[in-house]
């Protein structure tokens, strides 16, 4: 605990630590969206015709869709024609080594604490650093390549492994899936791609850091992860964004494919700019994440969501094969004027499929936190089991917690359990901690971290530490 | 150690303490006795800085400092410990975790190096043996699901780890059976030293069989109406508190 307390203390007086802007020339397309813009994006990236057609189909589908309104979040209408759909750092020549990376960008990474060469040397984490949508540098490629693992930017994957991309792109989240996913499919700029071959256990955590940099630029990342039969991989996604006054739209899509006997663990720490105390600015985070698990495969989502003005996100599992396993562990924090509508869908199709949902929502300030989850057990999913636990923690008396669990069970041999609780950090708990020598802030962090620990222990070690820090920063000033 | 002068305090509109005077020197054990509603817990709360208890007059000096001017956590780090009458449950927070954080706050305040997990556990185990406590309690959430007796032992265990200079035990005996009472008292006695003072707040004399006080004070209607040696506790046991009504103001002089 003492480390967590220290870090919280260190961070306590900062507002939004990552609110700086890097001065790099940006190559952006003018605002607006039409087929011409999509053709331009595709041409800039030198894409094959099949991908352009796929984008255009998505765009046409999107044009006929309406923005969803069923969620429990409120925001002014987004003008999709006022957004620029592509931005890339101008110098984007192929680089032979990290030394060739633009010094400004390097400095930015240093501020974020992810100095690439240090990571390369010390941590054993391969970083595919995404800076304003285009990958700047990728490390550890050689080690991974020796095992046949492909880990690269999405654009590179389209160029070098078109057959894999074509086969799996849209196989989990179709281009017509929902409004935001369709928009992403039409305009996605870049993202990450990983393929783990049959029977290979990826020897290191794969990690991507995302960052929105240019003003008025939407961020449309696309991630595709394929674990072939019997493969295993753990993937880390961490997000920080510089502070901006106007709202920024972020509509990402992540697709995971776990073939028979494969295991994918996908962990996210999301810390996009949440807006100021009065709800000005902040990121709109409308994300579609879904994994498909074939026979005996396992997909685990772990997320710590502390940022964004609005979060709309339901990392889901389609348990397609028999004995497939899906897991969802989530901590979502809303402070000040933040709103989150997040949860998961567990769709049981195969026999004896199992799923676990552990959701921890923390609301402070005027924050509104909604858990929305669907457990659907199909007719053929005999012997399926689900366990769901949804806990809410309230700090103060102006925030809100909401829980919408949906259960659809279509056979009689399945078991579904749902537990829910709502609690409040009590004055007496805080006084008890203070009487033992802890400051109010440390007491709150101690209690909040205790509340979240079932989720934190699912995170890789270094991420767990970062998650605790983020929680401290996010809840700063929420008590007393 | 502690010097209380004409302390007045209340909660909301209600006045509860009507001028308390009490001096506690290093190494002394003071018992504060009194019937329900006499202000015993308010006194303990006022000294610890509990929210909702408002000090309206008088002073309290702790180790030469104005105690009432300090935040509750600073009072704790300075060495004032309150064993709660109703220890608070904190689900999800590991007992050892809280205690290690607390100990390191105290050590930092004293300018001592923080203890790492290994050294802390060694110390914790040693102190647990004083109280005949089950090791498993260390790794359970703070007071969550503890029996009444376990909670009280846990308070004294925290006392033993934090080694405060002044410990206030607020009805630590309530809810304890006789065996648990003996164990807890033995734990407290093991912590007695010439540098450490104790204020034992209790209804009953029975705790004072085991933790023998140097002084006994009777708190009644927000005032200390009688003070004496340990024999005063026996007298109270014999006569109850009813006789206090007969001689109300006399003892305040």
Angle between helices A440-456 and A461-474 (to 10 degrees): 140
Tokens 């923005």 label which residue? Answer: A67
Segment A281-305 shows an average pLDDT of 94
CB contact under 8 Å between A437 and B87, yes or no, is: no
Alpha-carbon distance of A54 to A73, in angstroms, equals 31
How many domains, in total, are found in chain B? 1
**Residue A444 backbone zone (phi > 0: left; psi -120 to 50: alpha; other: beta):** alpha
CB contact under 8 A, A434 and B90: no
Contact of A123 with chain B, judged by CB distance below 8 Å, is answered with: no
Q: Which residue, among B72, B106, B115, B121, would best test binding to A if mutated, counting the most A CBs under 10 Å from its CB?
A: B72
Whether A438 and B158 lie within 8 Å, measured CB to CB: no
Q: What is the largest CA-CA distance in chain A?
A: 68
- Give the global pTM: 0.81
Give the Å distances, CA to CA, from A113 to A118, A460, B142. 10, 17, 35
Q: How many separate helices (H) and strands (E) can be counted in chain A?
A: 12, 23
> Which tens digits make up the pLDDT trace of A55-101?
999 999 999 999 998 888 888 888 899 888 876 654 434 445 556 55
* DSSP H or E run through A453: helix A440-456
- In this predicted model, what pLDDT tens digit does every residue of A27-43 receive, in sequence order? 667 788 999 999 999 99
Would you state the pLDDT for residue A140? 65
Cβ-Cβ contacts under 8 Å for A236 (sequence gap 6 or more): A125, A205, A206, A207, A208, A267, A268, A269, A460, A463
In the structure, what pLDDT confidence band is assigned to residue A339 with cuts at 50, 70 and 90? very high
Q: What's B95's domain CATH number?
A: 3.40.50.300
Chain B residue numbers with beta carbons less than 8 Å from the beta carbon of A2 are: 100-101, 104, 114
Report how far Cα B242 is from the mean position of its chain's Cα atoms: 26
Interface probe with A: pick from B84, B87, B101, B139, most Cβ of A within 10 Å: B101
- Could you report the predicted ipTM of this complex, rounded to two decimals? 0.95
Token output for A184: 């992403």
Closest to A427 (Cβ–Cβ): which among B51, B81, B141?
B51
> Can you give the pLDDT at residue B235?
87
Least confident of A105-109, A287-291, B51-55, B132-136: A105-109
What residues make up the domain containing B97?
2-252
Q: Which residues lie closer than 8 Å to A216 by C-beta, 6 or more apart?
A: A28, A31, A82, A83, A84, A246, A248
Strands lying side by side in the sheet with B215-220: B80-83, B166-170, B197-202, B29-33, B215-220, B223-228
Gyration radius from chain B CA atoms: 18
Please say if the pLDDT value at position A315 is more than 90.
Answer: yes
Both ends of chain B: CA-CA distance in Å? 24
CB contact under 8 A, B76 and A439: no
- Which H helix or E strand runs over A145? helix A141-146
d(CA A255, CA A315): 10
**Token pair listed for A389:** 């636990």
Torsion of CA A141, A147, A148, A153, to 10 degrees: -30
Of A33 and A210, the structure prediction assigns the larger pLDDT to A33
The distance of B4 to chain A (nearest Cα, Å) reads: 19
Q: Label residue A245 by pLDDT band (50, 70, 90).
A: very low
Identify the bridge partners of residue A310 per DSSP, sorted by sequence position. A284, A339
Burial category of B156 from C-beta neighbours within 10 Å (exposed 0-12, middle 13-18, buried 19 and up)? buried
């Amino acid at each position: 605990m003492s480390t967590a307390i220290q870090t919280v203390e260190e961070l306590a007086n900062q507002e939004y630590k990552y609110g700086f802007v890097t001065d790099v020339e940006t190559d952006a397309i003018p605002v607006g969206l039409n087929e011409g813009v999509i053709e331009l994006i595709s041409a800039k990236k030198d894409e094959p015709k099949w991908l352009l057609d796929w984008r255009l189909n998505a765009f046409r589908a999107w044009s006929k869709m309406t923005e969803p309104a069923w969620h429990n979040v409120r925001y002014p209408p987004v003008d999709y024609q006022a957004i620029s759909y592509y931005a890339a750092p101008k110098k984007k020549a192929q680089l032979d080594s990290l030394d060739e990376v633009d010094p400004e960008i390097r400095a930015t990474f240093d501020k974020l604490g992810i100095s690439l060469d240090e990571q390369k040397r010390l941590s054993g984490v391969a970083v595919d650093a995404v800076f304003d949508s285009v990958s700047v540098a990728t490390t550890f490629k050689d080690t991974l390549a020796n095992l046949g693992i492909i880990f690269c930017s999405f654009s590179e994957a389209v160029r070098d492994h078109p057959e894999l991309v074509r086969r799996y792109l849209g196989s989990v989240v179709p281009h017509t899936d929902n409004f935001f996913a369709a928009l992403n499919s039409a305009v996605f700029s870049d993202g990450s791609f990983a393929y783990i071959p049959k029977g290979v256990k990826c020897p290191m955590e794969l990690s991507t850091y995302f960052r929105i940099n240019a003003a008025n630029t939407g961020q449309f990342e696309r991630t595709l992860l394929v674990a072939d039969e019997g493969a295993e991989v753990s993937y880390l996604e961490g997000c920080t964004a510089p502070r901006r006054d106007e709202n920024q739209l972020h509509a990402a899509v992540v697709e995971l494919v776990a073939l028979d006997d494969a295991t994918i663990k996908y962990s996210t720490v999301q810390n996009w700019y949440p807006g100021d105390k009065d709800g000005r600015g902040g990121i709109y985070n409308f994300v579609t994440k879904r994994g498909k698990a074939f026979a005996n495969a396992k997909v685990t989502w772990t997320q710590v969501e502390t940022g964004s003005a609005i979060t709309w996100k339901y990392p889901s599992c389609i348990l397609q094969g028999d004995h497939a396993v899906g897991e969802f562990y989530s901590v979502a924090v809303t402070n000040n004027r933040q709103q989150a509508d997040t949860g998961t869908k567990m769709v049981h199709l195969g026999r004896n499929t199992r799923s676990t949902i552990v959701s921890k929502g923390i609301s402070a300030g005027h924050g509104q936190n909604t858990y929305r989850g669907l457990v659907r057990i199909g007719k053929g999913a005999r012997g399926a089991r689900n366990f769901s636990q949804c806990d809410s923690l309230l700090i103060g008396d102006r925030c809100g917690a909401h829980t919408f669990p949906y259960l659809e069970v279509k056979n009689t041999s399945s078991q579904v359990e749902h537990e829910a609780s709502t609690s409040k950090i009590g004055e007496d708990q805080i006084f008890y901690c203070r009487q033992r020598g802890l400051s109010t802030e440390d007491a709150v962090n101690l209690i909040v971290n205790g509340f979240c620990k079932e989720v934190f222990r699912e995170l890789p070690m270094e991420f767990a530490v970062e998650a605790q820090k983020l929680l401290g920063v996010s809840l700063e000033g929420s008590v007393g | 150690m502690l010097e209380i002068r004409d302390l007045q305090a209340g909660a909301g509109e209600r006045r509860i303490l009507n001028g308390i005077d009490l001096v506690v020197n290093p190494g002394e054990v003071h018992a504060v006795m009194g019937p329900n509603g006499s202000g015993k817990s308010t006194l303990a709360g006022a000294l610890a800085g509990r929210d909702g208890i408002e000090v309206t007059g008088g002073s309290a000096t702790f180790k030469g400092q104005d105690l009432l001017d300090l935040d509750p956590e600073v009072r704790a780090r300075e060495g004032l410990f309150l064993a709660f009458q109703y220890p608070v449950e904190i689900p999800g927070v590991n007992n050892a975790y809280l205690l290690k954080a607390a100990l390191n706050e105290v050590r930092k305040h004293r300018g001592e190096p923080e203890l790492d997990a290994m050294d802390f556990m060694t110390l914790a185990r040693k102190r647990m043996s004083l109280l005949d406590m089950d090791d498993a309690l260390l790794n359970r959430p703070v007071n969550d699901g503890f029996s009444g007796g376990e909670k009280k032992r846990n308070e004294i265990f925290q006392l033993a780890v934090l080694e405060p200079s002044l410990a206030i035990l607020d009805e630590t005996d309530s809810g304890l059976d006789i065996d648990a009472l003996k164990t807890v008292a033995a734990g407290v006695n093991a912590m007695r030293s010439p540098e450490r003072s104790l204020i034992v707040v209790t209804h009953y004399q029975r705790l004072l069989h085991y933790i023998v006080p140097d002084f006994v004070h009777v708190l009644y209607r927000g005032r200390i109406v009688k003070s004496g040696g340990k024999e005063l506790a026996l007298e109270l046991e014999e006569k109850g508190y009813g006789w206090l009504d007969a001689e109300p103001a006399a003892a305040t002089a």
